[in-house]
Every structure is written in C-alpha cells, then in structure tokens.
Amino acid sequence: MKNTALFLISLLVITACKTNTHRDIWITTSPSGNRFVEIDKTGETVIPNGRILTPAGKSIVVAPHPYGLTLSPDGNTAITANSGTSPLSITIIRDILSENPEVQQIPPGPATDKGVLASVFMGLAVSKDNSSVYVAGGQENKVFIFDLKTGEKKGFIDCSFQSGDEDYTHGYIGDLILSKDGKKLYAVDQIGFRMVIIDTETSTLEHNVPVGRYPFGICLSPDEKKVYVANVGMFQYKLIEGITKDNIAEKALKSPTFAYGSKEMQEGIDIDSLKIPGLGEMNSPKAFSVFTVNIEDPDHPKVIAKTKTGNLVGALVEGIPAVGGASPNSLVATNDYVFVTNGTNDNISVLSIEKDTVVNTIYLKPDERIKQFRGVIPFGLALSPDNQRLYVACSGINAVAVIDAQKLEVLGYIPTGWFPAKLEVSNDGEKLIVSNAKGFGSGPNGGESFNRGPEGSYIGSLMKGTVQILDIPSDEQLNDYTKKVISNNFNFEKASSEKFATRKNNPVPLYPGEKVSPIKHIVFISKENRTYDEVFGQVEKGKGDPMLARYGKGVSFRNGKKTASIENADVMVNHLKIANDFAISDNFYVDSDVSADGHRWLVNTYPNEWCETCTAASYGGNRSFEFNSKAPGVYAMNGAAGAIYPEDYNEAGSMWDHLERNEIDFYNFGFSIMFEPSIYEAKFKYQGNRHYINYPLPQPIWDRTSKEYPTYNTAIPDQFRIDQFKKEFTERWMNGQDSMPALMTVIIPNDHGAGDRPEAGYPFRESYMADNDLAVGRIVEFLSHTPYWENMLIVITEDDAQNGVDHVDAHRSVLMLVSPWVKRDYVSHVHYSFGSIFKTFWNILGLPYLNQYDAGANDLHDFFTNTSDLTPYKAIPVDARIFEPQKALDPFDENFDWKALEETPVMDNKEDMIRESKEQDEYRLENREKEK
C-alpha cells in the first residue's frame, strides 16, 4: 500500500488551495511547450531542460564552466576560473564596467595549456595592489600567480608538505581568500581535508589546518580573527584493506561492499579475507558542516567550532526522512552573521559570528506552488558593500536571489544565464557581476548552419560560460524580475483548463492519483552517448539532418586504421523499425553534458554544486592519484562514474528511495552500480567491473539488483546482456511465478562505442552500434511476447549525447517509447527532458513528484492513444558485414581467450570522445563532397 501521507504531500505541492479537488489543482509544465532548443542572446534562449533564459544586463562569453569568479580591489577587473572538459583556463576581463570590456583568455583559445595551466579549480584572489592574481591549481597542489595587467605567468606557490605522519604530497587546491592587507592567503585542499595558510610575501606554505571532509568554500570574518570552511563531503572513502596494485585483479570485489546507511557501512565488514573499512556516522561533525578556525594567534591556528548546517541526514523534512546531507558550499560574513548556502536543502543557514551556531534559516522557495520541491541549488554568495543585501546564485533556477541581510528575508529573484555559480558586487554597490557556468548552452554541433571553430564539435568545449553584468534592480524592477524567473522555469495552469480536456481518456494521468492507468509495468532502458541526428536524422516525420545520420540507412564508413570500409550499409536497423512501429521524439534533450552527471539524472537525481563542479574538474584532468597517495580524499573526484555517491544524494533521494518509501516493486539490471575508480578485467562478464573502494550502494537497490547482468563494459557484447536478461526474467517472472515489477531498469551501453576489434566481431566503431541495435530489438521483441505486454511501457533513452553531433543542439538525444498504448509511426514534437520521463512514471504509478525538474517538465502523454494495439515487435538482424553476433558471443564459452576483454575503454575517455568528434567531422565533409 502506498504511503498516503506522502501522496497528500504531493497534492499539496501542486495545488494552490487547501482542497484537493480537480478544479483547484495546479498542473506545472515546461515553459518551452513545443519549442526546440535555441540560443537567442538578445531574446529568449530555450535550454535542454525546457526552461527559458532571459539574463538581465549584458553577457560576456568566456571559456566553459567558470565556477570561480573574483573582482580586483579597484573594481575594474573580473577574473574567472574555468574548469572542465575543455583546456583549463582563466579569463581576465578588464574595464569590466565599461561599454567595451577587454577580454583575455589564458591560455588563449582551445589549444593545450602548454604548461601555462595544468589545472585550475574555482579559487581566485587579486593582490591588494591590483598587480597579481592568485589561481587555485587544483590537482597540481599549487597556487599559480599571474600578472593581472599582461596575463603572463609569474610563478606558483607549492602547497605540498611532508613531515612525520603528515603527508600532503598530493592535494586539490580549490576556493581561496586573501586577507585585507594581502599578506595571507587561505585556501582549501579538497582531497587533503585541510585549509592551507600561505605567506604571499615569501610565497611559502605556513600552516596546514585539518578541517572536515572535502572542504569546498571559505571566507574570513570581517575582523579577520576567524576563517570559516564549508565541508561538502559526507565520508572519507578508502581502499579495501588487503588490496594492492599487484593483486587488484584477483582481489577486487564483484559488487559494492555494503548498502548506504547499513550497520556494515558504518562499522565495516570482512569479506573473503579482505577488510572493508566502515564509513562511520552519516552525521559526523566532519560531514556537511562548517568549521571555524581561530587565527588570532598566527602561529597556532586552531579549529574552535564544528557547526552542522541545514537538515541532518535522516531528519524528517515535510514528512520525508532526508536521504542526502545539506551540502554546505559557500560562505560570506558580516559583523553579525555568517551566511552558508546549503545546496541540497535549498536554504541558507545563518550562523552567529559570536557564538558559531545556527541562529536562523532562510528558505529559497520562488513560488508557493512548487515550494516543497527541491532544485534551487543555492551556490555562490556576495554581499553589498554596506552589508544590507545578500545575493545568492540559485544555480537550479538560473537566478540570483536578493535577500535583506538584516531582516533575513528574500526580496526577489533576478534572471541569469544557465547555472549561475559565483557572483560579485561592484565597489559602488550598483552593479552585480555573475559567472554562469553553462552560459547560453552548447547550441548545435553539426549540420549546415554549424560553424566549426577551433574548439571542434565536442560538447565539453562548446558549453561556454558567461559573465553577466547588470544594474542592481529597484524594488519595482525586482518584482518584475521575480515574475520573469518564475515564468522562465515553470508554467502553471489549472487542471480544469480546457487545454487538458483531451486527456480524459489518455493512459497517462494528468497528475498523480487523477485516475488509474492501464499501464502497470514500466521498463526503463538506458543506452550511452548518442544524439538524435546520428540515429534518426533521416526520419521524414522528424526534424532531422540526414547528412548527420551516420548510423542510419545507406551510410558508408571505414575502420580506424582506414584499411577496411563498407559502402551503403544500414546500421541501427531496429531503432529505425521501432521508430516506424512505435514512437520517438525529435524534441527530447538530455539534461546532462557527460556520463558522470548523466547517470545521476538517469535515477532522478539532479546534480548539486558538488557534482557539477567535481565532474567538470575530473574530466579536465587526472581525478585520482590511486595507490600512491596519502590524501584522505583521494577517491572523492569520481569522474565518469555510472553511479551516485552519498555526496550527490538529493534531500529526498533518488528514484530508488522514492519507489521504496512508496512501496512500489522494482528491479535493476545494471543501473547505478558502476563506481569509479574500479577495474574492467576479462573475468568480469557477469558484473562488468570490480570494486576496490568502500563506496556504499544506494540502500534500495542492494537486494533489487541483478548479480549476473553486467554493467558498463563495451568489451562485453550487448547480446550477452540480453541473454542474461531473458534468462533471469524468465526465472523470476514467467511461468506463474512472481509478478513482473512495476518498474524495471536496464542498461544496454555498447552504443558508447570503442576501438575496432575485428577478431572479436567488432571490425568498426559502427559494430558497437549494431550490437546495441540488435540488443534493443531483441529485448523489445522478448518483452512484447510476454503476458505483461498488454500493460507495459518501454522507455528507451541515452544517459548523455556527448559522442554525437546534432544540428539542433548537442544535448538532443534519443527517446523511444514502445507500448500497446503508444501511437504507431509517430514523432512527438513536444519539448522533453529527463524530467519528462520521470514525471510520466510518477503520473502512471500514482506517486508524488520528486523534485523541481520532474514536477516542472512536460509529461509524455502526447505519445499515447486510448486504444491499445497488442501487435508484438519482431527484431530484425543487423548487417553481418558490420557485426556478427555469434562471433562476438563465441568467446564467452569456456575456451574463450579472455585477453580481448582488457581492451574496453574507460567510460567517457576524453581523448576518445575528441577523436570520434574529429572522425565525425571528416565523415561529414566526405559526404558533402559526394553530394556535390
């Protein structure tokens, strides 16, 4: 029986009145409607999640992901720290408040850094005399120094230190702040769990002060007697005791070692002669907290307070136990208060600067109709010069919150670019400067109208950031801005509106609990990294570019060495047949840029500021020092993982938590179990990878996940996965046994692609696409011949689109719906995102929405018809010239040469992505020449 209290909570959230009658219910949809993603820097930009950007003031384009921002003491120069999948850089914007600011990129353009900046992450400060800028060096464990006037590199300050038991050889320097006199620099070391104090006059490291887990933000008290450090982490992860670099292939474990929140997780456990260290308490003082460091005695800095902010893990928040921690991330201080943004709780903790305790909480709820849904993601903070106004970067709703810093009240919101991260106020208090990490989005990365610049077509290089300069608004203007922020993010209409009259007989309820759906079983299938155009660009009913359909019909290609080629081949034939037999979307976008955030989105977990920043940072360089590091947080930067980590957990958790607390039966084949780092070896065909770090598995899937279905590993054929799926499905849910669960998740990842392996049945990169295509065809065929087919919905999508090209937007991807209740040979043009998928799930299953992203999306009702067609699907074989299924499966007998399986690439290997991008460019140019 479903949790009635939680269901009523969801209705309260989507209603404007106290009664829950149909007439009073507000239906929240995407403001995009049927619009396609489009960048319009002078008008309305539609971004992939269906929201609108109308940034106030003017915007200056900078390099991707400007997660760091500072303003020089004279107020004339702004600097951003840009970290991500493109080359790491800083941007210097001189005469920032003038009509024509001067912009300098260091290093210039998308070229390699050539030793200028090997790593950069968020932290920035400018010397008192406006001559030098200090730049946090991330994994280099250094603070770099640049000449502010010329942009030339002047040197660096080494933050490494080793003495006795202290070993800070490795570090990840992040946010930093400079004393008023410019003589002391205070910075956090994210993986060293320390704050460093640097003497800028001698460029030497003075002190290492141990703080909490993954220190992220830092600020000074106005009297400079205290430093405050916000710790964004929950646990210190460790290597499993007994595993070494030499025995890892033999000793690594088949699955994660314990469930989140379990006794074993807290205390540790012994498995197969290995000792798995426990992670301790979820509400440890070191986790999700603010440390106060007294620096009155410069020779003996010491931690004097450890303050928990936001909601504790497990605490009841509006009837739901908090799954994730508060994620305190940024701080600013007045003479009375320290303000701390809690990224997961959508609130700001107010600490007494005298007592170092929380004395108040400011809640960020832009509209009463969605007040119980999290997703605002408060990040950077700034104070007006007179300390009367507090400005908060609300990354999730693309806005800046304006707060009365004396009354502690929210006054309104200002529209920004995509994902505002940090902000500054001009010296005269009249201008606000905002760094938007994702700017206006990527735009297209292929097609006739795409002008390929030196950065290429890879999505990570196209996600340019922006620096936004705007006038501080009057009260009246702020009121108008607030209305605009709300309408940019959410569209509200009453359920009684005539617009919804046509939905009376639609199988998808208008809202949870509106009626009972004929759909009882949902199968959610995730694939890897493809765009719409490269698969469906030739579909006549869709908005596609046939020239980009390199996995469509009649295409020609060659192998990596250019020694073999195929002409006029049909690659993903089952995808095209499913599009004809059932329905697809040509206006669906992944919210993610890469796999790391993609696999969070896939389980209805929106990435918080920690996930967004560390994902970009880990893609930009080496994320781990593995076995040779003593840094306690060395396993924090999780890179291209196919799982969610405790630091990622939203307040209400993921879809797994949502399903469990509402008592919905579910089962998992391969989702959310690929933690990184891990290893991929020959013997792992039943799991895909092996684990050697003590990461906890989300508790709800601990005993609801297949033990014989391999997760990501492109050297394992998708055909093997489908064989395993069919076997386990038949054993569990056929022949009168237990009934098929209401929701089932399945990963089929080989359309990620990998290098040519002709000896194993993969002579081309396209071979992996054909393998994936046949697997999708086979699973649809199998499911459509089961007794559950009459009440089934199969949803197929990708975790991200980064490997492909698309003429609409680099985020546009594959969305296929298969069901007796789906329209046949149909292309839906409604704007969809990941939130649309989950909103549809919850409407069908009668569950409340989980966050602002599913609550505010368009559901998928347009795909459906009120008359069922029970005709099953019949898979068709793929071109044997491209892929031979039996040849790929032959090695899986006892005589198999396991060496081939060692060649699987790391998920989202950046160099591989860029190489594929270049190959795509060559392919398109060749095709254009043929057309001519």
pLDDT at 84: 64
Closest to 367 in 3D by CA, of 472, 497, 492: 492
Closest to 770 in 3D by CA, of 717, 716, 709, 711: 717
pLDDT at 619: 65
| 366, 347 contact by CB (below 8 A) | no
pLDDT at 780: 97
Based on the number of CB atoms within 10 Å of its own CB, is 498 exposed (0-12), middle (13-18) or buried (19 or more)?
exposed
pLDDT at 688: 77
Does residue 542 carry a pLDDT above 50? yes
Does residue 928 carry a pLDDT above 60? no
Q: How many CB atoms lie within 10 A of CB 767?
A: 27
Does residue 713 carry a pLDDT above 90? no
Summary mean pLDDT of the chain: 90
Does residue 9 carry a pLDDT above 80? no
Does residue 642 carry a pLDDT above 90? no
pLDDT at 627: 73
Average pLDDT of the segment spanning 50-63: 97
Does residue 550 carry a pLDDT above 50? yes
C-alpha count within 13 angstroms, C-beta hemisphere, residue 172: 29
Average pLDDT of the segment spanning 885-908: 51
pLDDT at 532: 98
50: left (phi over 0), alpha (psi -120 to 50) or beta: left
CA angle 501, 503, 505 (to 5 degrees): 115
Q: CA of 876: how far to CAs of 311, 571, 577, 748, 774, in Å?
A: 53, 12, 9, 18, 7
Average pLDDT of the segment spanning 377-398: 98
Q: Comparing 195 with 13, which gets the higher pLDDT?
A: 195
The pTM of this model reads 0.93
| Torsion (CA) 47, 49, 51, 55 in degrees, nearest 10 | -50
Q: Comparing 20 with 158, which gets the higher pLDDT?
A: 158
Question: How many whole angstroms separate alpha carbon 818 and alpha carbon 793?
Answer: 6
Q: CA of 702: how far to CAs of 259, 536, 728, 872, in Å?
A: 6, 37, 17, 33
| Torsion (CA) 763, 764, 765, 770 in degrees, nearest 10 | -80
Long-range own/partner contacts, residues 164-168 (CB < 8 A, 24 or more apart): 166/208, 167/630, 167/631, 168/141, 168/192, 168/194, 168/208, 168/630, 168/631
Average pLDDT of the segment spanning 288-311: 97
pLDDT at 537: 98
Does residue 115 carry a pLDDT above 80? no
Q: Can you state the angle between helices 573-581 and 765-784, rounded to 10 degrees?
A: 40
Burial 277-313 (b: 16+ CB within 10 A, else e): bbbbebebebbbbbbbbbbeeeeebebebbbbbbbbb
Does residue 400 carry a pLDDT above 70? yes
pLDDT in tens, 27-56: 999 999 999 999 999 999 999 999 999 999
Helices (H), 254-305: 263-267
| 106, 150 contact by CB (below 8 A) | no
Q: How many CB atoms lie within 10 A of CB 42?
A: 6
Average pLDDT of the segment spanning 686-712: 90
Helices (H), 665-746: 718-733
Handedness of CA 354, 350, 176, 147 (dihedral sign): negative
| 96, 69 contact by CB (below 8 A) | no
pLDDT at 725: 95
Q: How many CB atoms lie within 10 A of CB 566?
A: 17
Closest to 49 in 3D by CA, of 835, 910, 892: 835
Average pLDDT of the segment spanning 840-849: 98
Q: CA of 549: how far to CAs of 553, 570, 601, in Å?
A: 8, 10, 26
Helices (H), 325-474: 459-462
Question: How many whole angstroms separate alpha carbon 818 and alpha carbon 868?
Answer: 12
pLDDT at 120: 87
Burial 125-136 (b: 16+ CB within 10 A, else e): bbbbeeebbbbb
Question: How many whole angstroms separate alpha carbon 503 and alpha carbon 524?
Answer: 23
pLDDT at 714: 85
pLDDT at 251: 87
pLDDT at 1: 37
DSSP H or E segment with residue 61: strand 58-64
Which are the contacts of 408, defined by CB distance < 8 A and separation ≥ 6? Answer: 350, 360, 362
Question: How many whole angstroms separate alpha carbon 800 and alpha carbon 507?
Answer: 28
Which are the contacts of 370, defined by CB distance < 8 A and separation ≥ 6? Answer: 13, 14, 28, 490, 852, 855, 856
Which are the contacts of 908, defined by CB distance < 8 A and separation ≥ 6? Answer: 529, 594, 595, 596, 619, 639, 640, 802
| Torsion (CA) 170, 175, 178, 179 in degrees, nearest 10 | -100
Does residue 658 carry a pLDDT above 70? yes
pLDDT at 891: 61
Which are the contacts of 603, defined by CB distance < 8 A and separation ≥ 6? Answer: 644, 654, 655, 656, 671, 672
**pLDDT class for 260, splitting at 50, 70, 90?**
very high
Q: CA of 821: how far to CAs of 376, 778, 790, 857, in Å?
A: 35, 20, 8, 21
DSSP of 802-834: TTS--SS-TTBB-EEEESTTBPSSEEE-S-B-H
Does residue 884 carry a pLDDT above 80? yes
Q: CA of 739: how far to CAs of 73, 743, 744, 781, in Å?
A: 67, 11, 12, 19
Lowest mean pLDDT among 511-525, 576-590, 623-637: 623-637
Question: How many whole angstroms separate alpha carbon 834 and alpha carbon 694?
Answer: 30
Token pair 């980590």: residue: 645
**pLDDT class for 422, splitting at 50, 70, 90?**
very high
Give me the residue spans of the domains in the chain: 12-16+495-608+648-674+711-926, 239-278+675-697
pLDDT at 119: 81
pLDDT at 908: 54
Local structure of 135: helix, strand or coil: strand
Lowest mean pLDDT among 116-130, 165-179, 806-820: 116-130
Based on the number of CB atoms within 10 Å of its own CB, is 78 exposed (0-12), middle (13-18) or buried (19 or more)?
buried
| Residues found in the chain | 932
- Biggest CA–CA distance in the chain, Å, is 79
pLDDT in tens, 904-913: 455 555 555 5
Average pLDDT of the segment spanning 439-463: 89
381: left (phi over 0), alpha (psi -120 to 50) or beta: beta
Question: How many whole angstroms separate alpha carbon 382 and alpha carbon 348?
Answer: 13
The verdict on domain 12-16+495-608+648-674+711-926 having CATH code 3.40.50.2300 is no
Question: How many whole angstroms separate alpha carbon 170 and alpha carbon 634?
Answer: 8
Q: Comparing 456 with 583, which gets the higher pLDDT?
A: 583
Which are the contacts of 551, defined by CB distance < 8 A and separation ≥ 6? Answer: 530, 534, 535, 571, 572, 575, 766, 769
pLDDT in tens, 861-873: 999 999 999 999 9
Does residue 14 carry a pLDDT above 50? no
Average pLDDT of the segment spanning 439-457: 90
Average pLDDT of the segment spanning 591-620: 85
Name the CA radius of gyration of the chain, rounded.
Answer: 27
pLDDT at 37: 98
Does residue 13 carry a pLDDT above 60? no
Beta bridge partners of residue 410, listed in sequence order: 403
